[in-house]
Structure 1
Amino acid sequence: MALIPATILTGFLGSGKTTLLKRVLAEAHGQKIAVIENEFGEENIDSEILVSDTTEQIIQMSNGCICCTIREDLRSTLQDLAEKKRKGELDFDRVVIETTGLADPGPVAQTFFMDDEVAESYLLDSILTLVDAKHAASQLNERQEARRQVGFADQIFISKTDLVASDEVDALMHRLKHMNPRAPQKAVHFGDVALSEVFDLRGFNLNAKLDIDPDFLKDEAPDHADHGHDHEHHDHTPGESCKHPSHQHAGGHHHHHDDDVKSFVFKSERAFDPAKLEDFLGAIVNIYGPRMLRYKGVLSMVGTDRKVIFQGVHQLMGSDLGPAWGPGEQRSSKMVFIGIELPKDILLQGLAQCLV
Structure 2
Amino acid sequence: MADAAPNTDLVPVTVLTGYLGAGKTTLLNRILSENHGRKYAVVINEFGELGVDNDLVVDTDEEVFEMNNGCICCTVRGDLIRIVGGLMKRRDKFDGIIIETTGLANPGPVAQTFFVDDNVRAKTRLDAIVTVVDAKHLPERLQDSNEAEDQIAFADVIVLNKADLVTPEELEAVEQQIRKINKFAKIHRTTKANVPIAELLNQGAFDLTRVLAHTPGFLTEDDHEHNDDVTSMSFEVESPIDAERFNAWIGALLAEKGQDLLRTKGILAYAGDERRFAFQAVHMIADGDFIGPWKEGEPRVSRIVFIGRNLNRPQLRRGFESCQAA
Q: TM-score, normalised by structure 1?
A: 0.77
Provide the rounded CA distance (Å) in 2 between the counterparts of 1:87 and 1:319: 26
Q: How does 1:65-84 map to 2 (within 5 A)?
A: 65-71=62-68, 73-80=76-83, 82-83=85-86
Q: CA distance change for structure 1 residues 28 and 334 in 2, over 3 Å: closer, same or farther?
A: closer
* C-alpha displacement of 1:326: 6.2
Contact 1:20/1:191 (<8 A) preserved: yes
Quote the residue 1:13 is aligned against.
20
Q: CA distance change for structure 1 residues 96 and 298 in 2, over 3 Å: closer, same or farther?
A: closer
Work out which of the residue numbers 57, 60, 63 in structure 1 matches 2:60. 63
Provide the rounded CA distance (Å) in 1 between the counterparts of 2:279 and 2:225: 23
Quote the residue 2:213 is aligned against.
214
Contact 1:133/1:158 (<8 A) preserved: yes
Q: Give CA deviations for 1:163-207 in whole Å, capped at 9, x if unaligned.
A: 111112112212222322221101111122222122111224x5x
* C-alpha displacement of 1:158: 0.4
Contact 1:179/1:263 (<8 A) preserved: yes
* C-alpha displacement of 1:133: 0.5
Provide the rounded CA distance (Å) in 1 between the counterparts of 2:30 and 2:296: 47
Gaps of 5+ in 2: 1-7, 70-75
Provide the rounded CA distance (Å) in 2 between the counterparts of 1:326 and 1:344: 30
Provide the rounded CA distance (Å) in 2 between the counterparts of 1:95 and 1:330: 34
Quote the residue 1:105 is aligned against.
107
Q: CA distance change for structure 1 residues 13 and 48 in 2, over 3 Å: closer, same or farther?
A: closer
Residue 259 of structure 2 aligns to a residue in which SS?
Answer: helix
Provide the rounded CA distance (Å) in 1 between the counterparts of 2:234 and 2:306: 6
Quote the residue 1:273 is aligned against.
242
1:46 aligns with 2:54: yes
* C-alpha displacement of 1:77: 4.0
What amino acid does structure 2 have at the position aligned with 1:22?
A: N
Contact 1:217/1:336 (<8 A) preserved: no
Provide the rounded CA distance (Å) in 1 between the counterparts of 2:124 and 2:240: 34
Root mean square deviation, CA, Å: 2.9
Q: Give CA deviations for 1:314-336 in whole Å, capped at 9, x if unaligned.
A: 11223333555567655433221
Of 41-50 and 90-99, the range deviating more from structure 2 = 41-50
Q: Give CA deviations for 1:102-145 in whole Å, capped at 9, x if unaligned.
A: 21111101111111122233222210001101111121233222
* C-alpha displacement of 1:280: 1.2
Q: TM-score, normalised by structure 2?
A: 0.83
Q: CA distance change for structure 1 residues 194 and 348 in 2, over 3 Å: closer, same or farther?
A: same
Work out which of the residue numbers 174, 177, 180 in structure 1 matches 2:179. 177
Quote the residue 2:73 is aligned against.
none
Contact 2:212/2:218 (<8 A) preserved: no
Provide the rounded CA distance (Å) in 1 between the counterparts of 2:241 and 2:150: 30
Contact 1:10/1:149 (<8 A) preserved: yes
Quote the residue 1:250 is aligned against.
none
What amino acid does structure 1 have at the position aligned with 2:229?
A: D
Quote the residue 1:127 is aligned against.
129
- Bigger relative contact order (CA 8 A; separation at least 6): 2
Q: Give CA deviations for 1:292-323 in whole Å, capped at 9, x if unaligned.
A: 12222233333334443322221122333355
Contact 2:265/2:306 (<8 A) preserved: yes
Q: Give CA deviations for 1:72-100 in whole Å, capped at 9, x if unaligned.
A: 62443453454356269x94433211111
Q: How does 1:277-288 map to 2 (within 5 A)?
A: 277-288=246-257
What amino acid does structure 2 have at the position aligned with 1:158?
A: L
Q: CA distance change for structure 1 residues 184 and 328 in 2, over 3 Å: closer, same or farther?
A: closer
Percent identity, aligned pairs only, is: 36
Residue 128 of structure 2 aligns to a residue in which SS?
Answer: strand
What amino acid does structure 2 have at the position aligned with 1:336?
A: V
What amino acid does structure 2 have at the position aligned with 1:218?
A: G
* C-alpha displacement of 1:348: 1.8
Provide the rounded CA distance (Å) in 1 between the counterparts of 2:189 and 2:298: 36
Provide the rounded CA distance (Å) in 1 between the counterparts of 2:296 and 2:119: 41
Provide the rounded CA distance (Å) in 2 between the counterparts of 1:268 and 1:108: 31
Provide the rounded CA distance (Å) in 1 between the counterparts of 2:84 and 2:299: 46
Provide the rounded CA distance (Å) in 1 between the counterparts of 2:269 and 2:57: 50
Contact 2:268/2:278 (<8 A) preserved: yes
Q: CA distance change for structure 1 residues 117 and 285 in 2, over 3 Å: closer, same or farther?
A: same
Residue 47 of structure 2 aligns to a residue in which SS?
Answer: coil
Provide the rounded CA distance (Å) in 1 between the counterparts of 2:293 and 2:80: 40
Contact 2:219/2:234 (<8 A) preserved: no
* C-alpha displacement of 1:272: 3.0
Q: Give CA deviations for 1:6-52 in whole Å, capped at 9, x if unaligned.
A: 211111111001111122223344433322122126984333456xx
Q: CA distance change for structure 1 residues 237 and 161 in 2, over 3 Å: closer, same or farther?
A: farther
Provide the rounded CA distance (Å) in 1 between the counterparts of 2:56 and 2:144: 32
Q: How does 1:152-163 map to 2 (within 5 A)?
A: 152-163=154-165
Moved over 6 A (4+): none
